[in-house]
């Protein structure tokens, strides 16, 4: 797979020059299904970073176009999820080899599944606390008892609360609230998710992200207000 931004002239490579419409035209030959909404979605996922003009228009460099080609090829040819592609791009930005860059989709699960002992160590949980996390639905396991590395942030948050004496069994209210909240947001975007066009599905994904951000903002604001009452502020 070609490496993004590989050019002998980095100044020329990174100079912003293309509008989003011009980028779309450049990509359409190799990726007929790409749309402007798709490019915007990849930007929102931090996979490409076009500059903005004073009036707010996007301007893409040759390096940006190369990154988009890399992402689209990885999705099409290797069926890689965006989080894995982003990790590869981050590694390339650091000058390291992209993990799994030459592999197929079968390489992804092995890289994302951790043995229970390694997962617990990475999360800061004891074996008993990890077992409680599984029991109360905060993390999942596969048939071999391994855990998805994507669930480490949840496990680390549980570990942090445990250090204050709040055990996983006390946190079931959080999981129940999240499930209800997710169901509510799902109802909002379900009509768009049923769209047959990729553009419609991308719009639904963008909307879901915005709804999730606003919900998290609301939760934080409500909790902050309640804690101020506790402190008598």
What is the residue-level pLDDT of the chain in tens, covering all 233 positions? 555 654 444 555 667 789 999 999 999 888 888 999 999 999 998 999 999 988 889 999 988 999 999 999 888 877 677 888 888 888 777 764 444 444 433 333 434 788 899 889 888 999 999 999 999 989 988 888 889 888 888 888 898 999 899 998 888 888 888 888 888 888 888 887 777 777 777 777 888 888 888 888 888 888 888 888 888 75
Rounded CA-CA distance 127/121 in Å is 9
Among candidate residues 83, 65, 71, 74, the one with its CA nearest the CA of residue 6: 65
Lookup: tokens for 205? 């994904």
The continuous run of DSSP H or E covering 51 comes out as strand 51-52
**Which pLDDT score is estimated for 233?**
59
Measured CA to CA in angstroms, residue 207 lies from 46, 82, 177, 186 at distances of: 16, 17, 20, 10
Would you say 73 and 42 are in contact if contact means Cβ atoms under 8 Å apart? no
**Which pLDDT score is estimated for 3?**
58
Q: CA torsion, points 151, 155, 160, 163, in degrees to nearest 10?
A: -170
Rounded CA-CA distance 57/182 in Å is 33
């Amino acid at each position: 797979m070609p490496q993004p931004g590989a050019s002998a002239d980095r100044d020329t490579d990174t100079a912003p020059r293309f509008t989003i419409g011009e980028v779309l035209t450049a990509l359409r030959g190799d990726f007929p299904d790409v749309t402007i909404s798709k490019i915007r979605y990849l930007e929102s996922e931090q996979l490409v970073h076009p500059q903005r003009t004073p009036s707010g228009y996007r301007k893409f460099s040759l390096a940006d176009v190369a990154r988009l080609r890399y992402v689209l090829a990885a999705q099409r040819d290797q069926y890689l999820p965006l989080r894995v592609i982003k990790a590869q791009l981050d590694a390339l930005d650091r000058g390291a080899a992209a993990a799994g860059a030459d592999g197929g989709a079968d390489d992804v699960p092995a890289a994302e599944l951790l043995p229970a002992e390694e997962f617990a160590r990475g999360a800061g949980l004891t074996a008993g606390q990890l077992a409680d996390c599984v029991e109360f639905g905060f993390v999942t396991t596969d048939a071999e008892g391994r855990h998805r590395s994507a669930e480490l942030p949840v496990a680390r948050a549980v570990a942090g609360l445990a250090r204050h004496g709040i055990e996983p069994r006390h946190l079931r209210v959080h999981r129940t609230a999240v499930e209800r909240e997710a169901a509510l947001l799902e109802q909002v975007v379900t009509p768009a998710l049923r769209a047959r066009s990729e553009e419609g599905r991308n719009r639904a994904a963008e909307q879901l992200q915005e709804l999730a951000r606003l919900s998290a903002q609301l939760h934080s604001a409500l909790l902050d207000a309640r804690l101020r009452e506790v402190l008598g502020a």
